[in-house]
Structure 1
Amino acid sequence: MSAQKISRRVRILRTAERMFAQHGFESVGMREIAAQAEVSVALLTYHFETKDNLYREIFRDRSEVLDRRLSLLESVVFDRPDTIAQIVAAFIDPQMELRATPEGLAFAQLLAREATDPSSNARGIIAEFYDPLAFEFIAALQRARPDLSADTVRWNYLFGVSALSMLSVDDRALRLGVNPELTVDETGTILKEFLVAGLTA
């Protein structure tokens, strides 16, 4: 594939990603995406055929974050006092690194929207791309906390997902008085401390 085609494809993906993050899947059409990406509708459909395919390709294109999380999880050393902290860092850090760029932040917002949208079950994005990793993290937490019931561990994982998703709802945080000058690293540290405290209580 030529550099020009790669560039156009990436431009389409990042444009669609931003638009879906801002307006939701149902509210964005292929013609609007083509116009914003400055490509023809014919080119857009040539690359992706349908809006569903384009939407799914955004998540596939961002799968390096999932790979990074899994790689960090596989490097966790168990039977240490900081095992839970290692697991939490493997879960949080790659997503926070993604949020450090405007494009990455748009994807984080899209992911939060998809994870909380009741209609998302029909699309199956979370089930396909995120549930397999969820089971890996749940298994790691169960190994680290064998004293907890399986349901407690599962709910703790889901509470962690919810807390991470809330970071993408920036306006509410500001309305509640969160310091807007906090860096991504500072926010990530607060979140990790919160999750570690809950998982080690």
Structure 2
Amino acid sequence: MTFNSIEDFIDQYESVVREWFQFKNNANLTHVEEEDFWSELLVKIVQEDLLNKYNPDHYSKASFKTWLKRVLNNLYIDMSRKIAKGNWVPIDTTDDDEHLQILEERFNVDKNIEVDLDKDMIAKYVEDIPKVRDRILVKLKTYIDGSTVLDDEEYEYLENVSELSDVKGFISKNIYNRKAGMKDKDICKLLDMKEGTINTTYQRIVRKYITEPYTIYRAKYGKN
């Protein structure tokens, strides 16, 4: 089983995952939110490159669907335990007011490289993301003290793809000043994207256009 992209996996297996989840959740004492589970799964797939790790020869000839259900079960157990212990924090939740710490956590800058995060440099990387929708997504999820505000081109884009009559007003009301980002459910209302795909798409964009060039730069030039 091979997939050209995470979108291929979503198209082919989202219904399978959600059906499995609903059956599992109904039989479990600890309630897990479906969208939280879906988002965690997609992020796990991207971060651990799971779709390229499946090999039937390594799993007793198990089909991809059988192997996937093992992954789902392990993730569900892990989430249930954290929820039961009060240790669960949804992906799009943050209570940290320290701008640079938020940036570091959001962008997962290589912990092996000692860096002083440069907010202006990060903002420049964001502005250089070529696709308007991708740039908007990163800005909405990483709004830091006004450093990632939308420009006229981006507002015009949102006005064309969103059904909201007052895009600027909606963003102003729902953006989290001095904190990192807007909730996925609110981003869905602005961009033509499913809620479950937002974090996965975000992770991919950030890795390609921000994390990799930033860590390469810092590894080469250090703190100076």
Which structure shows the bigger proportion of residues in helix conformation? 1
TM-score bin, normalised by smaller chain: under 0.3
